[in-house]
Amino acid sequence: MKPVNLQTKVTIYCYEELNSAEKSLIDKAKEATSRAYAPYSKFSVGAAALLQNGEIVTGNNQENVAFPSGLCAERTTLFYANSQYPDQAVLSLAIAAYTGGDFLARPISPCGSCRQVILETETRYRHPIRILLYGKEEIYVIEGIQNLLPLAFGSLTD
């Protein structure tokens, strides 16, 4: 028997503490919530991905009357980025959520399927993704998906 302690790290910032590039990525994720298609949940999520070439790609959640057919903002954004710029690593990903007429005070964190896709994107481009989770009162900054998806499929066999 050998217990293993897994550690994850999250750093909490307020908006004013971020640099201008980080603020701008978050602003783009916030803007992208306004283009979400979320008639069922009324929960609009936006994401913005900064690519190695400096391009910023945005996306949002796209729902469907057949619920499982919809897609989260993170995967919409990463799949779009990877489909349009297949040779560009994703450096960072900002996420914001808007519901009931306002942005949330505290961040939401990507669902399990999105974490798996973030991991695949990191692996594909051999580059960690800096994840910025926006909340009006707190912004969580996470340096790489291993902090959100420890013991990921594949990580024990590497």
The residue within the footprint of ligand THU, chosen from 18, 57, 72, 93 (CB under 6 A), is: 72
41 binds ligand THU (CB under 6 A): yes
14 binds ligand THU (CB under 6 A): no
Shortest spacing between CB 112 and ligand THU, in angstroms: 10
DSSP string across 126-155: T---EEEE--SS-EEEEESGGGTSTT-TTT
38 binds ligand THU (CB under 6 A): yes
Distance CA 57, CA 152 (A): 26
Told to judge if 74 belongs to the known catalytic residues of this protein, a careful annotator would answer: yes
- Which entry of 74, 120, 137, 138 is annotated as an active-site residue? 74
Distance CA 34, CA 11 (A): 27
Which positions are catalytic? 74
